[in-house]
Structure 1
């Protein structure tokens, strides 16, 4: 009998979670308490499992999310997560079956794009996903950073440490403002805030309370939040060797961002600061007197994007000025391909309609995912042969239209 792919029932969840743990090399046993804690965060109608003789051997689920497009519009997205195939059942097409089903359902629900965080780079391009945002992680030698450790606070506004309960009250409104300013950001649910502040915990993942630093401007408005932990607290010959690890740092203004970074670098005893995952063009290294003290630990793809509704996605974002392009998009799954005319006005607003006109550029739908948020260069993809320039000069025009002043960033995993 061939393995059975099905939408999960509540009774399947313990076995499904066990399969997920197996695939991600975590202790396999799942306690009833763990199942109870995780069940409310899993939409069973959007969760798939493959079962072979009653044993779950592959997992897949998705969640509704909102993705910020360049220009600030919020786009309905299907966030794919918990994707696994047990090592005993690889190369049998199980992932392809689950992915095809989910992408078709997402398109029918009206979700314009699908997004995911890829554990491994080579897997998802064949399903039409392209890397849309990247991240950097820096490890800073604080004594060499060149910053004055005697910093006593911002010239305007203030930084205060707050409790998890206070963060649950003020954090969501701040994040709503920040995500609209951040192409590539996604929304945070109430459950996300409960998990982040320790109100919701899981037996398999003990929670340790971090520090929460909040920046308020001169009027008292909350404009920034940084979460951090001390992960190494050593003293040698009565000299500190303390590591501060940044969890999340979000800011609605440059003043807030600067103040929070300066605060983190001024914390007593800290000799090493880990930045956490940041946008590759984050300001932090250039804030330092000696940027060489910030060593890049990670530079990698982060969020991958797959367009499901080409006109909806392309009309949702803004562009750099007026222009016109005919794009011939190839989609093996027949979800978002075709030939489309993209027209943008002087304000960067766009219309996208099917056309039979000759194409200016042609490429696979995965390349549109890579280009969509403005992080990649059309000219670079053309040089690689991944975009075909059908009309001379079209790649340069497209590069000008699609690129954004700052690189997109996805602050949160999912």
Structure 2
């Protein structure tokens, strides 16, 4: 019997995770990605609790462990460049932490033997018929698939094509983020430094490469003030916003001009009444983007497993499966969005007084009692969905 076909849009984390589990569920999987190749770089992502069980079940744990950041302490500096408090290991990096680029590459390597990856193309139109979804691409010839999964992030093209413009579903959180790789002139060794002035913030971390640091920047501003700028404009914005910043930021910002991996975006959340429309279903940030601190990466990977598992349990009945998938994940998505909604107050306090209050509060959380509170908050999102195995069709075991 011919396998049912599914098109997955997005080849970062959610998409390849969906490819893994959908293949196990018996589907023939195609993954389309707008970028010409896997996107390098990105900030660190962590796994805790139930999500660690998931990556072990996927056979990823050892590969991820070999590429973990092994981040130790992180020191928060005040505006004068003096230590305000120290976050010990495990506060922000959970049980296992890797760079997003490493995670995406490992997922690709585990799935490209059976999933058909198409880079440098994107979906432009979706038309559902009685027999499937007719998909039009920017470059490739039109094709029909039984199902389409939008795993293409907060700016999902699948969501736009099937549900409507992004502006209908997106809520800005009032700040912007940027990230890039820079030389490690601070000589950090598996450690991080956080620095803030009112309205701006930076997180500088050294992971596996002794000569490089990952620089994450955040700054307050109009959620829609920049639109979707091109790369040159992104570099101009970041340079201008941090032009008068103190401490070591001017030297770090010098690397922006030649950064090959610059990431820039406005931080927001996606809220939809339903994550599916007919034979089209959304996954990860395309469906419920929570923002930083919302356990988005792990929940997207958990969602991929649940989506495929519910399709198996429903005998391929996508209407029933999509409803059950959403039912299992809705509460966890709300928890993630609640956590993410307050991320700006930590990453980029707006005023000098709010910055002082933030520092006082987090200094108190570094003690034994505070640490337990922090761990509870960090694990709440990761454990909002319990990992459970679904029956696997025998004919489609992984090679």
Query: What TM-score do you get using the length of structure 1 for normalisation?
Result: 0.22
Bigger Rg over Cα = 1
Which of the pair is proportionally richer in helix? 2
Q: Larger relative CO (CA 8 A, sep 6+): 1 or 2?
A: 2
Which of the pair is proportionally richer in strand? 1
Query: What TM-score do you get using the length of structure 2 for normalisation?
Result: 0.22
